Amino acid sequence: MDDQFGEDPHSVLLEQVFDSFEETKRDVVGFIFAGIPWKTYLNGLLTAGVVGIVVHMQETCGHKFSYLIEGNHATFLGSGDHHDTKYDDLARSSPFASFASVDGDEDDFGDDDCAYTITVYPSDQLREFYNFT
């Protein structure tokens, strides 16, 4: 598989820590650094036995990748969008970690910041699991 992420995508978060909450006069005194291995984040989200949820992650910097969640295990499907388009009308999307932006507005991210949107889709496997037509 030709994939820009290799085995599993990771994201790096970096946030400045200031010596004051006042915006006019403050100095940077440190940084908070966190790495998000997406597979680890997605593992354990569903109850064992629930199968066939496709999670598509897209960031404002242009990267896209997808996972299949089966029970409490996530499998990386690769770069790009790997959901079945016949389920487009059942998609549910949400900004990921919108609390990290000012006032929850994705437009407040800087030019070098990448905001994520997570979209969840059902699959044929989920449809068969619940036997709905």
pLDDT digits (tens, 9 = 90+) for 109-120: 455 677 889 999
Give the pLDDT score at 46: 84
The pTM of the full predicted model, rounded to 2 decimals, is 0.72
What contacts 24+ positions apart, CB below 8 Å, involve 8-17? 8/37, 8/38, 8/39, 8/76, 9/38, 9/57, 9/63, 9/65, 9/76, 10/35, 10/36, 10/37, 10/38, 11/35, 11/36, 11/38, 11/59, 11/114, 11/116, 12/36, 13/100, 15/100
Q: Is the pLDDT of residue 108 over 60?
A: no
pLDDT per position as a tens digit, 13-54: 778 899 988 878 889 999 988 888 889 888 988 888 888 899
Q: What is the mean pLDDT of the chain?
A: 81
